[in-house]
Structure 1
């Protein structure tokens, strides 16, 4: 009976996690619609989307190694597609310097670094050790996804203007952090649960910052 309840909770939080993460990945759509309308990406940064793409790629690899983690595979596959779309739009409308910078980041970070991680973990480790190594790496970059939107915090504080702050992203990251924490807790997976505790705290910090400055711009 206890096992059935636990399995039900895992499935429930996995589905809720997919829904929350779906909105996380969709939340930048208004930002990129604004970029499209302006025909310029000036004022926005590509780093958060590159980091999010890398994190989704890592968790896809992690889910592949752990087996039977279809709920993790589905949402991170969707995440990879969305982040690639956002980065393409950003690059199309970016100035020359931003195009070069974004291209370098994608090549060095999302291609070379990812290739090295896959290659090294396959050649230098195996079994549970390989899963653990990839789990740690995935956790670190999952934290980077939560931290990345804070890069704009300094600008918000300095200018007292929240125009470029990704508020929907912060809100849905906070909700996603709560749901995936419980999912990781129920399946006893530290590498899923732990980063989302920090993610929740960073999300709350971003929302508080927005509430402080939203009426001052």
Structure 2
């Protein structure tokens, strides 16, 4: 007979594995942008800041998932390790094709990310009390996740203002929702508020994005079916 703790562990691992799979969709989503950058040999008007911030977020969450900081969160470490590699590749490509001013700025920001991460790692290792270490790193990674999930608020505002989903790709919104909802469940099954609270917020924002997408995409299709009235005068 399977115990309730075993069922809980299986559900947690299943949610974590699913979260890792859906996160991969997020990690590969910038590829069309970088294909364009490589093709044109220029970063044009694209900003490298989202990749810098995403790298810092991945590094902090990766460190939080290690056994040194939190218990039984290996799948958090794996997904963020993969994410950090993707973001680092994007940043290197951005630096290669950026203008000199942007290149120097991105190099400086990349160095700042590694220095900040090293400070967090060194500082947390100095904390003898494991609970204090868990709260310290968990608070930083949780705050980083919340701000990352809050970043689409600008896009949501843009969609409502323009009544168009042109700037909100469906598969990106869907991947965000699926990943955050999986890790929300993962955090609940593991009784970890530093995982389920920020991912719960991400799930809610993901639902909002999907609702807006279907509302405005359906609305635009209905408008396109209306007879065209040409005014002369």
- Provide TM-score, normalisation by structure 1: 0.84
Partner of residue 27, structure 1:
29
Instruction: Could you tell me which runs of 5 or more consecutive residues in structure 2 were left unpaired when the two chains were aligned.
Output: 221-233
Give me the whole-angstrom Cα distance separating, in 1, the residues matched to 2:99 and 2:163.
25
Q: Does 1:139 align with 2:105?
A: no
Partner of residue 230, structure 2:
none
Give me the whole-angstrom Cα distance separating, in 2, the residues matched to 1:129 and 1:151.
35
- Farther-moved stretch of structure 1 (199-208 vs 20-29): 199-208
Q: Deviations over 1:107-128 (max 9, x none)?
A: 22x1222122222222255311
Q: Does 1:51 align with 2:53?
A: yes
The structural deviation recorded for 1:97 is 3.3
SS in 2 for 1:199: helix
Alignment of 1:48-197 (within 5 A): 48-64=50-66, 65-108=69-112, 110-124=113-127, 126-150=129-153, 168-197=171-200
Residues 4 and 157 (structure 1 numbering): CA distance in 2 closer, same or farther, change over 3 Å? Answer: closer
The structural deviation recorded for 1:60 is 1.5
SS in 2 for 1:103: helix
How many positions carry a matched residue from both structures?
215
Instruction: Could you tell me which runs of 5 or more consecutive residues in structure 1 were left unpaired when the two chains were aligned.
Output: none
- Provide TM-score, normalisation by structure 2: 0.78
CA contact (8 A) 1:49 1:86 kept: yes
The structural deviation recorded for 1:77 is 1.1
Which entry has the higher C-alpha Rg, 1 or 2? 2
Greater RCO (CA < 8 Å, at least 6 residues apart) = 1
Q: Deviations over 1:166-209 (max 9, x none)?
A: 65433311211111000100111100111012212333444566
- Farther-moved stretch of structure 1 (32-41 vs 20-29): 32-41
Residues 68 and 116 (structure 1 numbering): CA distance in 2 closer, same or farther, change over 3 Å? Answer: same
Partner of residue 205, structure 2:
202
